[in-house]
């Protein structure tokens, strides 16, 4: 039974990041609409601190993924579906990496250095430049919209596996207490 399951670490990273990504996405959409205020600056700082934290988790997760083979997809899945699942997962990893990076670059270009939890300054990767800053803002937004689409597809696929195909694709990613 345990052979076809994700490792505890992989499950923990998956759900930790799911919470982080949904929270960061919602916070990002909300804070962007606020008029300038101390609260807005505070939320931006928190968003960046959390973003850096998730970025670190992405790196840990990529390292774990590279060194631990995930359980294979069910035999009954047709080839195109398997291909789609793999492509989707690759896209998720790519976006999980590109989105915080684009945020970091945007902060640099806009002249707002990122100081993790107000303590650890991250190097500015770009010079302050308004045009590049605005461009990166668009890039950050577009990547997030792409992620939203892929995540919805990811969740829909998981539910399809669980309720229609009735296989273990969803349950093997659930923590023990939730099964």
Partner 1 sequence: MKRITLALLLAASLAPTAHAVEYGQVQADKSRIDFAYQQMGVKMDGRFRKFTSQLSFDPAKPAAAKASFAVALDSIDLGSSEADQEVASKPWFSTQAFPHASFVSSTVKALGGNRYEVAGKLTIKGQTRDIVVPATFATQGATGVFDGAFTLRRGDFSIGEGAWAKFDIVANEVQVTFRITATPK
Instruction: Tell me which residues touch partner 1 (CB under 8 A).
Output: 36-39, 41-42, 45, 110-115, 118-119, 121, 128, 130
Select 43 or 77, whichever has its Cβ closest to partner 1.
Answer: 43
Select 9 or 29, whichever has its Cβ closest to partner 1.
Answer: 29
CB of 16 to partner 1, least distance (A): 25
- For 83, counting Cβ atoms within 10 Å of its Cβ (0-12 exposed, 13-18 middle, 19+ buried), the class is exposed
User: Which residues is 116 bridged to in the sheet?
Assistant: 120
CB of 113 to partner 1, least distance (A): 5
CB of 28 to partner 1, least distance (A): 16
CB of 116 to partner 1, least distance (A): 9
Do 150 and 91 contact (CB within 8 A), yes or no?
yes
> C-alpha angle with apex 11: 9 to 13, nearest 5 degrees?
65
CB of 134 to partner 1, least distance (A): 10
Select 96 or 105, whichever has its Cβ closest to partner 1.
Answer: 105
Select 41 or 152, whichever has its Cβ closest to partner 1.
Answer: 41
What is the DSSP secondary-structure string of 25-80?
HHHHHHHHHSPS-HHHHHHHHHHHHHHHHHHHHHHHHHHHHHHSPPPPPPTTS-HH
**What does the alpha-carbon distance between residue 93 and residue 126 come to, in Å, rounded to a whole number?**
24
**What does the alpha-carbon distance between residue 142 and residue 147 come to, in Å, rounded to a whole number?**
9
Select 114 or 144, whichever has its Cβ closest to partner 1.
Answer: 114
């Amino acid at each position: 039974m345990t052979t076809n399951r994700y490792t505890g670490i992989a499950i923990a990273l998956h759900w930790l990041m799911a919470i982080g990504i949904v929270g960061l996405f919602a916070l990002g959409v909300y804070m962007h609409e606020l008029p300038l205020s101390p609260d807005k600056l505070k939320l931006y700082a928190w968003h960046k601190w959390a973003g850096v934290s998730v970025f670190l988790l992405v790196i840990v997760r990529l390292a774990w993924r590279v060194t631990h083979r995930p359980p294979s997809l069910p035999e009954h899945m047709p080839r195109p579906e398997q291909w789609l699942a793999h492509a989707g997962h690759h896209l998720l990893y790519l976006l999980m990496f590109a989105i915080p990076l684009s945020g970091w670059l945007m902060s640099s270009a806009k002249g707002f250095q990122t100081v993790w939890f107000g303590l650890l300054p991250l190097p500015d990767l770009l010079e302050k430049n308004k045009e590049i800053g605005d461009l990166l803002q668009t890039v950050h937004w577009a990547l997030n919209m792409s992620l939203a689409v892929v995540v919805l597809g990811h969740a829909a696929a998981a539910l399809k596996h669980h309720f229609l195909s009735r296989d273990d694709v969803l349950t093997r990613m659930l923590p023990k207490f939730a099964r």
